[in-house]
Amino acid sequence: MELIKEVFGEIKLIKLDTFQDERGSFSETFRADKLSKFGINDTFVQENQSISFKNVIRGLHLQYSPKQAKLIRIVKGTAKFIELDFRPGFTFGMHSEFTINDTDNILLWVPFGFANGFLSLSDELIINYKVTNYWNKDGEIVIKYNSPELKINWQTDNPILSDKDLNGYSFSEFQQHILPKINF
């Protein structure tokens, strides 16, 4: 494993080692000892799989109670990820963008303090991700993907969204009503 990029001092892109021969390829997709070299020492308690079609946007999601971090890997397809920083400090409200596909063989580490969202750029997108705490509906919120103050270019004019994502908080509503409840 190799750390290839770090953003906001916390988000990490990690390249997995791939071994190829005439039969195909092999990768270790998770190794706690190697991840600890990059400061990822969290315990993962749940693994999820998301399957999306082209132009689906999921997010921006965050779970604050209990605090949840994510280790994301694309199994099939290509996605544009948006990671929105909601930690107090200089980079609050800023976001980073990553386009990752299945052939990149990348892990994306999203610690607590960031809202995660993605757009499927392929006809079928399969994402697996490990999380550090169990899902809690009452401790999760959605920030609207198109909150004007965020100025995110999603690169799609016709996104497909769930009702949950359509009815999320604007970023300013999040700052006013939710952020004060979050314990960092």
Catalytic residues: 61, 129
Cα-based distances in Å from 133 to 14, 47, 60, 73: 21, 10, 18, 18
Cα-based distances in Å from 21 to 25, 26, 44: 6, 9, 31
Dmax (CA) for the chain in angstroms is 57
User: In this structure, are residues 48 and 140 in contact, taking their beta carbons and an 8 Å threshold?
Assistant: no
DSSP secondary structure letter of residue 28: -
**Phi, psi (degrees; rounded to nearest 5) at 15:** -85, 125
**Phi, psi (degrees; rounded to nearest 5) at 111:** -75, 170
